[in-house]
Chain A
Amino acid sequence: MNQSAWELFWTSLGPIVHGAIAGTIPLALASFAIGITLALGLALMRLSRRRWVSGIARVYISIVRGTPLLVQLFVIFYGLPSLGILIDPWPSAVVAFSLNVGGYAAEVIRAAILSVPKGQWEAAYMIGMSHRRALTRIILPQAARVSVPPLSNTFISLVKDTSLASLILVTELFREAQQVAAFSQEFMLLYLEAALVYWVICLGLSSIQSVLEKRLDRYVAH
């Protein structure tokens, strides 16, 4: 790389990292937090003995997983205004990503709850716990351990998927890179730079994941 390319790399790193810190990361964190809450509710609905309750969750999950995230994003940002519902770019993105994570993580959480042995429910009932208390104090903590690796993957995917928000005008990592690229016409450099920053973020997340797994593994045999 020549001198001017290096200079461009360093000067554009500022806006790109700013896009990551002010856009990508908070967008991913907010969407993940809301999405996981939604997913827990959906997972419990899926496990309900009432047919219509589990049916609603099943249909929701099927729609979310069966349609492209980009289409979901466009329906919310460009589609809803024709129904008179105008949502700003940022909240639109949070809504779309949350609904999406909710659908995917619901299946992960459901599988994790089902993976806890039946004897754990029975021991919880035996000591006098209600269903709700058995779930929150005995089953979910064990399910959490099982679901950390797949949910970490969901989160890492989400971080990368937030780049789609650039298409609904959210100022985040990729949109910052696009703007510098359009201005400087150095597309290869800027898009590789954006890729590099995403990669560094995901490397960080992977190491947090392994720390978390070790912490949660403290009570199981190796």
Chain B
Amino acid sequence: MSPTDPTDPTDSTDRDAASAPGALLRVRGLRKSFGPNQVLQSVDLAVGRGHVLALIGPSGSGKTTILRCLNGLELADGGTIDVAAEVSLDFGTPPSKKQLAALRDRSAMVFQHYNLFPHKTVLENVLEGPVVVQRRPKAEVEAEALALLDRVGLSAKKDSYPFELSGGQQQRVGIVRALALRPQLLLFDEPTSSLDPELVGDILRLIKELAVEGWSMVIVTHELEFAREVATEVAFVDGGRIVEHGDPKQMLRNPKEERTRQFLHRLLFPF
């Protein structure tokens, strides 16, 4: 299993690769309001191929909205999103359905609450996108899906319905469903926030494996230790803008901005 555009992760030691011209994802001046409430002020970010960007920040800071804009689940009011050289959206004018479909086609999202289809079995959940939407041959997709399920230890559950699975198992299906779409970019929206504490490790380990394999990702997370170890870059989001971004090992230990410092302190010493 490898992303559609395999990249040797050991090759990506250059921290500035994300801002280099070859970045997989580039976001400029992204703005979004809900009524009078401006949740994204002007967000710039970039993700290089095979890189992992972790978005951290307090709830309500806009980090999930950023992620949702990347998958077209929210329509930004302004700014641009470019994916590789193929998709280029300028939200100055509302995007066409075709443009939006192209944007969604490049990325796949893993949701905080899994959002599996409850009326479909595990295998049907995974096949729905590749077979029904992407119209790939069913036999080929099914073999691939079974291999993915096997990898996450769920091949025995392929005919189960989501309600028969634990939260951790459901989230693994959620990840397999995203992988089966063969996206260029994986988006994780607090993938472990709804899980029992003892199940969190399994999911984080799986995501880390995917990172090592070279998948490009954006992860919204509260797991600082995970961000430090897995992310190639971390961005602190607050008040709808990126307050600070940089190397996770440096930034999480020694942030430059006072707000980042306060946030990290509160997370590390909750009481």
Contacts and interface: CB of A to CB of B under 8 A. Distances in A.
A49 interface: no
A219 B161 contact: yes
A23 to B, nearest CB: 37
A127 interface: yes
A127 B181 contact: yes
Contacts of B101: 128, 130
A188 interface: no
A24 to B, nearest CB: 34
Interface in B62-83: 71-73
Interface string A129-144: 1100100011001100
A137 B163 CA distance: 19
Contacts of B133: 127-129, 133
Contacts of B113: 119
A128 B104 contact: yes
Contacts of B129: 127-129
A55 B111 CA distance: 35
B115 A219 contact: no
B132 A122 contact: no
Nearest to A145: B119
Interface residues on A, range: 20 to 34
B49 to A, nearest CB: 22
Interface in B143-180: 161-163, 177-178
A129 B128 CA distance: 10
Interface in B103-127: 104-105, 108-109, 111, 113, 115-120
Given A137-B132, A218-B161, A220-B163, A126 B119 contact: no
A141 B119 contact: yes
Contacts of A130: 97, 101
A126 B161 contact: no
B59 interface: no
A127 B101 CA distance: 10
A114 B129 CA distance: 23
Contact of A142 (B115, B118, B161): B118
A124 B163 CA distance: 18
B181 A123 contact: no
Contacts of A141: 119
A62 interface: no
Given A128-B133, A137-B128, A220 B118 contact: yes
A142 B220 CA distance: 29
B115 A122 contact: yes
A119 B134 contact: no
Nearest to A119: B115
Contacts of A128: 101, 104-105, 129, 133-134, 181
A199 B108 CA distance: 54
Contacts of A124: 117
Contacts of B178: 126
Given A119-B113, A133-B133, A220-B163, A127 B128 contact: yes
A122 B118 contact: no
Interface centre among A122, A138, A221 (most CB of B within 10 A): A122
Contacts of A122: 73, 111, 115
B184 to A, nearest CB: 14
A125 B181 contact: no
A113 B162 CA distance: 20
B71 A126 contact: yes
A133 B135 CA distance: 13
Interface in A78-125: 117, 119-120, 122-125
Interface of B: 71-73, 97, 101, 104-105, 108-109, 111, 113, 115-120, 128-129, 132-134, 161-163, 177-178, 181
21 contacts: A119-B115, A120-B115, A122-B73, A123-B115, A125-B73, A125-B104, A126-B104, A126-B109, A126-B115, A127-B177, A128-B101, A128-B129, A128-B134, A130-B97, A141-B119, A142-B118, A218-B161, A219-B161, A219-B163, A220-B163, A221-B163
Given A126-B104, A130-B101, A220-B118, 8 more contacts: A119-B113, A122-B115, A126-B115, A127-B128, A127-B129, A127-B133, A127-B177, A219-B120
Closest A-B pairs by Cβ, 4 of them:
A127-B129, A123-B115, A119-B115, A128-B133
